[in-house]
Structure 1
């Protein structure tokens, strides 16, 4: 790395050191501000072009915005500096042997040829080092990069590189976890002899060792899990069961550790290691529960959930959570069963995530305050202790009941996304009065939308009420008012819609003589997109902007992907007609909007703050990629879950089409606040190949570490983050190309740059 000196930023008089650039970029990444983090890395590299940390920070920022190819190119010089090419040294060794053998050869030409080859080999190693400037942490990070690359590609070479890096990490640092990871990779490579040898070394390191007293619970769990894996590799299943049972008995273990153990066990299974059935009951993923329930009766209504029934409902919720071993929860926060669920989860020490259907003050006025000051205090405490509070919309309620249904879609989608990340499937727990029909966004409505009945748990609110006849009265529970005049959206003017804003990058650089070609470009775009067979509910254009509205998120995602693919193809096909290939910036959003007849144009149009929010996302995204808000991704996920269930019920195959990758929190254009953003892309064959057999090496394959290729970066940059947390960074390497990538105007568009 370059020495820490002082640089003056041209935009201001205040000097900034190298460490300040690094700390600023690191802080922005931790906050999820990936776009801003990249800008900082780009600017910092103007003054410190050899700074590895800024290069890696920039690659992380790029990858987390979905710009995977750009991130891969940026990171390549760092990997080149860390991964030593042994090829020239092996050539020198062979040339030296040949020169010695031919030194006294009677054939002078052959002897001179051997010496010439030796001289050339010496030149190739001049200035090179055989040993990399990398420590165990760096090797470990690179090993994880190659492991993720293998999980994505299924290529044997990635797996071989992964094992080599874990072996180097184990040799350099002696960490048992690196040893067991190298052993697991060896099993997958069918090298069982090395796997057993490594497992034996790990077992010897851990079996008789005392756990340091300052170790955390998670540290103790990791030690036991590593020992258990070594025992499985050595064929001692009974000992492994005892070890994992011991690990399970530890209190306060974060569920991420358990998920990691599950991943390792799955890899061992793939490698042919016998796994005792008992481990299935010992190593379980955390249970995710999404909740819906009846609110407390309003004064003069009911009885459905009278205040006197609170203790009974609380007890039933606690019992069901115990049965499910709930560890992660999602819920709204109305007074009544919602808050009872949240409080029961918090008492368990579980994680709670709250989704608010509309503005905070309106929610209190509509769903909390009528219960009295005690419930309002409990509501405020619940939001303070929740792990996250997400707003389906931050706008006013305005009496539109369908906002509750939209919030339910967000609950459904967010819980499903989280459960998939944790290698499980969510449960729906409902407190329901079993009344016919369903209020919009109520418990019955949510149950109607839930696709997996086997993962549905219902607490019979009416049954609990019948156990207290003194609470029922002479007339019994009143039927809910379900008369909304037909469709609950009809007549309200406010509807839930999916929206797309799209901008054609490069349009402003076109000259008059290019306009005919541009019009041809638009005609061909229309023809290409129409092939997907999706007809928007509304579409409008002005200049280089396109605005599309649809009822559902799934067809909108397909439409956006098709549009991007068509434009990308036309960039090549029309290269001789336009000065530069045109490309797109696309943003997707879902939310409540007002649908009305435009008073001036006389056609249907859409209005509201969510139109503005969708529009403000598009200008600050990366060209050539599709980005979506958290609301859109949640609705898309809920729709995909329903389609999957329908396909299964009909005996049909369901193929997931889209992948949503978390980007972070993005500051929107024109100071329109912040928005959680995902990168949306099609699921590829590589994404579907994780369960495929490991590819055998080609006949001419050389598994030597010298021929390592740069790994896929998109889903593995968290592994590289461990490299940047240490001061033990590798030195040297060419970073000019990396700096050019961050600074080049033609390679990547960056907002504000």
Structure 2
């Protein structure tokens, strides 16, 4: 368990002017993101702040914390050991007098090695981690280092030592009575954990019940305690009765993440009313009631007039977090999805974007009549919500405001809610038809009051078609250094890659090559990831007989499909193809990197395919690299490293240890 050692401020607006040179503003923004359980954005800001304020340990620590929380342990360890090389002295407790470090630095070092132990199960890693925390306990009299030393003593099968440390932890915590509210959570949660080790389950429940009263809507605190609880259970460190685990899970319940979708206000040329402007207020009341009923804390949605903006306004009114995803540039979105309901809705749209915690554009290009962009944005919304939910150890809910009998359109609210989860996830409906019919009974003058005809407006668009594809770009590292003598080996290597592709990809796939570069595209992100991981494994296996290495980058987005006029072969064109190509050069050798858009689309596709996306059901692991500058100054992109799980990780998840 880790506590915050620097009190910043309560959770508030996460928006930061990144041109600011005010250190305090950066500290507040980063800490707010971490507290709200959003380490992905926190990492991106912390990396920039670390470069802006290189001497400040605060930002180094926040980068490391964010990397740990997003699963990138290799990078966290590298930064930590580069910054504090003497930390390795702690490996031998005989050096305790020679290594002087503060409580937070030691705690982060311990967390890194706890994650390494969780991956490897190696006894040496276990003992090293225990020694790190034991050092923090000895030198800092830190209760949270003490409780983690107790946990790692259990992991190294030193059960009596673990019980002794747990009892000493309780004593330390009970002596600290005049603590601030924030500190109180960690004290109570730590005492709860100590009681679990001592098998005093009723006392543990009381401690966690007291702890949860001091979270002040900080999502990271309950999540940290929940992670600890699951570690004891999943790694068989303590045999906790199932009913106790269930009670504690209910106490530490994570925030509810909601995906939202709903109808727009009717256009003036709509023949039959669906969402007439006159029922705006009862729809808003229904949304507000549903938000309260499911206790929604985090929302992901678009921002069209009607239901979307009503949801955003209701969420903001209760202090919840809102994340907006738009399918194309702002100007075209206002024209296609906001302005036809009137000037007031445009003003509400602008206000929503200003107050939202985040606003993403899946493409910043024009609409061009491609309705597939609406569907693509819907998939990204779902995927981002699933990604955030998994980070918070919960599952997303879907809230849909629709007329269930209305016609389904590509990218519309009806098609968006169909097949959601297929039993894996919860979906909540607000029936627009029912609300409309009640309004008609009460007042028989329901009409549309939209200002423009959507059909006329959209008919003015260029109907050039774009479809969404998964892209793979790969190249051989240091290809230009391959000498003539070694080219036969290289050609044999490429032939094996081609054979590998034929064996493992069963759906339609198109491959283009030039020099050492390979460009593959297909419709499915699930199939593309499967192939990318198999290709990477194959390359690593081959590296035992040759020194060739490969970078593999994955992306997904809209593109134009056409025949190359020179080669007469099928090819893709568009800004997202270029983005995928620019991602590949910043990928580490023998790694698979993927854009955030690829990962989000992957999660959404798994749901559509009737596949649960819970980590236990997948053979891969995500590690957030951060927001990186793409090659040739092609902007920035949030990037993930995707790898196969280790055998120990799989065994732990399936309780095979």
Secondary structure of 1:355's partner? strand
Q: 1:346 aligns to what SS in structure 2?
A: helix
The match for 2:597 is 631
- Residue 331 of structure 2 aligns to a residue whose secondary structure is helix
**Match of residue 687, structure 1, among 635, 649, 653:** 649
Contact 1:497 1:591 in 2 (8 A): yes
Output the CA distance in 1 between the equivalents of 2:440 and 2:59.
Answer: 69
What SS class does the counterpart of residue 649 from structure 2 fall into?
Answer: coil
Which has the higher Rg, Structure 1 or Structure 2? 1
Q: Which residue of 2 aligns with 1:448?
A: 418
CA positional deviation for 1:221 = 2.0
Residue in structure 2 matching 1:257, options 221, 229, 233: 221
Provide the residue aligned with 1:329 in structure 2: 299
Q: Measure how far apart 1:362 and its partner are.
A: 0.8
- 1:52–1:78 CA contact under 8 A, matched in 2: no
Check conservation: 2:81, 2:87, Cα contact below 8 A: no
Pick from 154, 158, 164 the counterpart of residue 121 of structure 2. Answer: 154
User: Compared with structure 1, are the counterparts of its residues 67 and 582 closer, same or farther at alpha carbon in structure 2 (3 Å cutoff)?
Assistant: farther
Match in the other structure for 2:44: 32
Partner of 2:191: 227
- Does 1:169 pair with 2:141? no
Q: Measure, in 2, the Cα distance between the counterparts of 1:37 and 1:668.
A: 19
CA contact (8 A) 2:44 2:627 kept: yes
1: distance between equivalents of 2:205 and 2:96? Answer: 46
Q: Is contact 1:428–1:456 with CA below 8 Å preserved after alignment?
A: yes
The CA deviation at 1:355 is 0.8
Distance 1:687 1:86, change over 3 A: closer
Provide the aligned length of Structure 1 versus Structure 2: 601
Q: Residues 202-241 of structure 1 correspond to what in structure 2 (within 5 A)?
A: 202-207=169-174, 209-212=176-179, 215=180, 217-241=181-205
What is the correspondence of 1:40-79 to structure 2 with a 5 Å cutoff? none
Is it true that 1:198 corresponds to 2:165 in the alignment?
A: yes
> Paired residue for 1:299?
268
- 1:152 Cα shift? 1.7
> Is contact 1:412-1:634 (8 Å) kept?
yes
Higher relative contact order (CA 8 A, sep 6+): 1
Structure 1 pair 355/170, CA: closer, same or farther in 2 (3 Å)?
Answer: same
TM-score, scaled to structure 1:
0.71
Query: How far off is 1:185 after superposition?
Result: 3.5
Whether the 8 Å contact between 1:293 and 1:430 is mirrored in structure 2 is yes
- Shift in alpha-carbon separation, 1:61–1:526, aligned structure 2, 3 A: farther
Q: How do 1:502-581 residues align onto structure 2 when only pairs under 5 Å count? A: 502-534=474-506, 536-573=508-545, 575=546, 581=547
Is the counterpart of residue 621 in structure 1 residue 572 in structure 2?
Answer: no
Deviation at 1:219, TM superposition (A): 2.7
Shift of 1:39: 11
- Correspondence list, 1:292-441, <5 A: 292-301=261-270, 302-435=272-405, 437-441=407-411
Q: Post-superposition shift, 1:294? A: 1.0
Q: Is the 8 A contact 2:621 2:644 kept in 1?
A: yes
CA deviation map 1:374-404 (0-9, x unaligned): 2222211211221111111111111211111
Q: Is 1:137 the equivalent of 2:104?
A: yes
Query: Aligned pair in 2 of structure 1 residues 277, 666: CA closer, same or farther (>3 Å)?
Result: closer
* CA RMSD, Structure 1 to Structure 2 (Å): 4.1
1:582 aligns with 2:548: yes
- Equivalent pair of 2:622/2:643 in contact (CA under 8 Å): yes
Alignment map for 1:14-25 (pairs within 5 Å): none
Distance 1:406 1:255 in 2: 29
Matched, 1:459 2:430: yes
Q: Partners in 1 of 2:319 and 2:91 — Cα distance?
A: 52
> In 1, distance between residues paired with 2:196 and 2:152?
14
Shift of 1:257: 0.5
Residue aligning to 2:19? none
Q: Runs of 5+ in structure 2 lacking a partner?
A: 1-26, 31-40, 456-462
